């Protein structure tokens, strides 16, 4: 017999590695998104950020040793992990450590890499050396890389979203999928997101452009893709679900002060779909 209060139900675990942002992006966005979508986030801090809704003051990276210790201690007890999402990588060491940690997880684990370079209110989050070249140890374990257009062009030197997506996905050691989002460059009324698989065009998605400044939309999207994969969806289906989910959150965004709004990550609990 099970004692009263003893947990018997399990929910998919999503390992989320990123920065703590007290103004609501980064790990907070990851935890809220995983929770809203029926998963449980296992958050590992790659760094602290000192910021508010108006701007980033400073990033304090967690050392490689401390990062590894967080992961090892957590994973010796929790598990099995059903998907992983990687956000802010504030040092080369953090990228290498995350790659090393992923190598110890089962092959085939869906890993979503959001190569976030700048805070939504401005300011550098990613180590400058990584913006030109992400380490192979990390890419080889990545299933889907999700840069916005600016990040994709910075990482590849490409001239277009298509060329960047083709360069970012491929056969190992490249990630199988690249989703290049157009949120930072809206066209008249709509935003286009390109999904490439193994270096080839797979499909594209369009979402309505919503006027305003939002904080943590990229984190929400990439965590939602990871949560979808953890729930058993294919990466392609998880991207479609995650885009709808993130758009809904943006439509219902709320303000906590400053210039940017925060997507409501449990918007659909109100029972409506925009
Ligand atoms: N990660 C951290 C720690 C951040 O502070 C931010 C934004 O400030 C992001 C990621 C990316 O935010 P967004 O989802 O708005 O691109």
pTM: 0.94
Q: pLDDT confidence of 188, banded at 50, 70, 90?
A: low
Atom of ligand 1 nearest to the CA of 20: 3
- What are the tens digits of pLDDT across the range 87-115? 999 999 999 999 999 999 999 999 999 99
Give me ligand 1 centre to Cα 52, in Å: 11
Question: Per-residue DSSP letters for 178-212?
Answer: EEEB-TTS--SSEEEEEEEETTEEEEEEEEE--SS
- Whether the upstream peptide bond of residue 17 has omega within 30° of 0, thus cis, is no
Per-residue burial over 226-240, b = 16 or more CB atoms within 10 Å of its CB, e = otherwise: bbbbbbebebeebbb
Q: Are 39 and 81 in contact (CB under 8 A)?
A: no
Helix (H, G, I), strand (E, B) or coil at 122: coil
Return the closest-CA partner of residue 116 out of 252, 216, 192, 238.
216
Give me ligand 1 centre to Cα 2, in Å: 42
Task: For the chain, give the percent of residues with pLDDT over 90.
Answer: 81
Domain covering 24-251: architecture: 3-Layer(aba) Sandwich (3.40)
- Domain range annotation of the chain: 24-251
Residue of 22, 119, 152, 210 to test ligand 1 pocket, by largest number of atoms within 8 Å of CB: 119
* Distance between CA atoms of residues 207 and 251, nearest Å: 11
Question: What residue owns the CA closest to ligand 1's atom 6?
Answer: 119
- What are the tens digits of pLDDT across the range 29-64? 999 999 999 999 999 999 999 998 888 999 999 999
Residue of 218, 261, 262 to test ligand 1 pocket, by largest number of atoms within 8 Å of CB: 218
The conformation of residue 124, written as its DSSP 8-state character, comes to: B
Q: How much is the mean pLDDT over the chain? A: 92
What's the pLDDT at 256?
Answer: 87
What's the pLDDT at 209?
Answer: 86
* Distance between CA atoms of residues 185 and 228, nearest Å: 26
Q: Spell out which residues line ligand 1, taking CB within 6 angstroms.
A: 18-19, 21, 25-26, 49, 51, 87-88, 116, 119-120, 125, 215-219
Return the closest-CA partner of residue 98 out of 128, 75, 132.
75
């Amino acid at each position: 017999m099970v004692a009263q209060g003893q947990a018997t139900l399990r929910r998919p675990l999503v390992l989320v590695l990123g920065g703590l942002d007290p103004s609501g992006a980064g790990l907070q966005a990851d935890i809220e998104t995983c929770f809203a979508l029926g998963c449980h986030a296992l958050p590992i801090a790659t760094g602290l950020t000192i910021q508010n809704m108006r701007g980033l003051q400073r990033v304090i990276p967690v050392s490689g040793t401390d990062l590894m210790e967080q992961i090892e201690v957590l994973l010796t007890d929790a598990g099995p992990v059903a998907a992983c999402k990687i956000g802010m990588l504030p040092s080369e060491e953090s990228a290498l450590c995350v790659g090393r940690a992923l190598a110890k997880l089962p092959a085939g684990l869906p890993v979503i890499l959001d190569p976030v370079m700048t805070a939504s209110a401005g300011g550098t989050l990613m180590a400058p050396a990584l913006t030109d070249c992400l380490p192979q140890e990390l890419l080889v374990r990545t299933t889907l890389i999700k840069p916005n257009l600016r990040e994709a062009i910075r990482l590849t030197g490409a001239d277009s979203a298509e060329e960047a997506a083709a360069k970012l996905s491929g056969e190992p050691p490249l990630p199988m999928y690249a989703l290049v989002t157009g949120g930072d460059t809206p066209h008249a009324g709509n935003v286009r997101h390109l999904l490439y698989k193994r270096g080839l065009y797979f499909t594209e998605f369009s979402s309505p452009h919503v006027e305003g400044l939002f904080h943590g939309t990229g984190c929400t999207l990439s965590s939602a893709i990871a949560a979808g994969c953890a729930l058993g969806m294919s990466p392609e289906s998880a991207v479609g679900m995650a885009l709808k989910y993130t758009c809904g959150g943006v439509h219902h965004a709320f303000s906590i002060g400053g210039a940017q709004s925060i997507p409501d990550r449990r918007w659909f609990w109100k029972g409506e779909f925009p």
